[in-house]
């Protein structure tokens, strides 16, 4: 009986050792496989530590990690292009085919030209430029020569390719027989706007033609009025919201006569602005016209 018990005890001990050994072996094999997977991440193409090979076409950067400042600089390089450059890219790609404006750029050797504005029967017939601010073309002409008469320019915040709700265009009111810097001025730039104070003059010149890199368009005058310099008309709107609709109502109500032309939130308008010389240079003439026809 004692021997049989001893044999049974030895068998149980052997079985336990066998089971323990199997468990240890399984654990070892598991961690060995896991370790091989972890070490293989160095060659995993989805890893963040992607090796960059040197080549003549793609120089290796000094480091693959970018600081916050460096990242912001890279973002500026890709999305910080001014409106004019983005428009130029569309021209180059063939998305725009307004040869008139491209021809004006060649003629005047000025890539700031974005359009041409004309009111039939008036002296307003000019290429329109756009700079990086609203100051430069106050004192420089289309050839980028210093000139007290400046040039006709669109607000620097306007972006043609976005189809803004309002395009704002500025020009000096150069009085007739005005001499400055040994040059005699004779009512050029936006001088003709002042005559819109006469309703008959408006009736004879009701349409503004504004051709741009985006296409050709005509706009009918719906309002004309003098205003002080503290106005909201220079703000660029892009949404048909309450503020935009309030602006249209305000502009219509301020007209010195009723044109009979109604404007709504869905409309696009062009606003021409020039100075009023009536003893107070802080006043402006404002002419507003709404889009009635466009072609591409």
Instruction: Find out whether 129 and 104 touch, Cβ atoms under 8 Å.
Output: no
Report residue 234 as tokens.
């220079």
Question: Of 293, 102, 269, 114, whose CA–CA distance to 216 is shortest?
Answer: 293
Domain boundary among 46, 77, 108: 77
Instruction: Find out whether 282 and 265 touch, Cβ atoms under 8 Å.
Output: no
Is pLDDT of 143 > 70? yes
Statement to judge: residues 128 and 247 lie in one domain: yes
Is pLDDT of 43 > 80? no
pTM to 2 decimal places:
0.66
The helix or strand, by DSSP H or E, that contains position 117, with its residue range, turns out to be strand 113-118
The domain containing residue 71 runs over which residues?
2-77
Is pLDDT of 280 > 90? no
For 44-94, the pLDDT digits (tens) are 332 223 232 332 332 222 322 222 333 233 223 322 333 343 344 434 333
- Mean per-residue pLDDT for 204-208? 98
**CA–centroid distance for 16 within its chain:** 78
* CA–CA gap between residue 138 and residue 155 (Å, rounded): 12
Is pLDDT of 232 > 90? no
Statement to judge: residues 263 and 116 lie in one domain: yes
Statement to judge: residues 138 and 253 lie in one domain: yes
Average predicted confidence (pLDDT) for the chain: 74
Q: Output the CA–CA distances (angstroms, integers) from residue 51 to 42, 70, 201, 216, in the order listed.
A: 9, 20, 72, 52
Statement to judge: residues 19 and 148 lie in one domain: no
Question: Of 251, 273, 280, whose CA–CA distance to 173 is shortest?
Answer: 273
């Amino acid at each position: 009986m004692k021997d049989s018990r001893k044999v049974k005890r030895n068998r149980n001990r052997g079985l336990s050792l066998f089971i323990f050994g199997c468990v240890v072996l399984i654990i070892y094999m598991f961690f060995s496989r896991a370790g091989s997977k972890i070490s293989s991440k160095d060659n995993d193409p989805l890893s963040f530590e992607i090796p960059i090979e040197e080549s003549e076409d793609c120089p290796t950067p000094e480091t693959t990690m970018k600081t916050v400042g460096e990242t912001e600089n890279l973002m500026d390089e890709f999305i910080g292009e001014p409106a004019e450059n983005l428009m130029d890219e569309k021209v180059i790609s063939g998305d725009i085919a307004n040869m008139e404006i491209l021809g004006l750029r060649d003629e005047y050797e000025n890539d700031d030209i974005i359009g041409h504005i004309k009111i039939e029967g008036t002296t307003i017939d000019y290429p329109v430029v756009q700079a990086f601010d609203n100051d430069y073309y106050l004192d420089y002409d289309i050839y980028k020569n210093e000139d007290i008469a400046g040039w006709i320019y669109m607000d620097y915040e306007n972006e043609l390719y976005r189809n803004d709700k309002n395009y704002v265009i500025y020009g000096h009111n150069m009085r007739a027989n005005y001499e400055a810097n040994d040059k005699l001025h004779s009512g050029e730039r936006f001088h003709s706007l002042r005559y819109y104070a006469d309703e008959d003059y408006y009736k004879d010149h009701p349409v503004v033609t504004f051709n741009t890199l985006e296409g050709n368009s005509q706009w009918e005058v719906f309002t004309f009025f003098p205003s002080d310099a503290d106005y909201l008309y220079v703000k660029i709107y892009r949404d048909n919201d309450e503020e935009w609709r309030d602006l249209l109502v305000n502009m219509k109500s301020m007209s010195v006569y009723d044109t009979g032309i109604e404007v709504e939130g869905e409309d696009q308008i062009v606003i021409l602005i020039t100075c009023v010389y009536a003893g107070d240079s802080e006043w402006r003439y404002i002419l507003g016209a709404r889009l009635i026809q466009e072609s591409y």
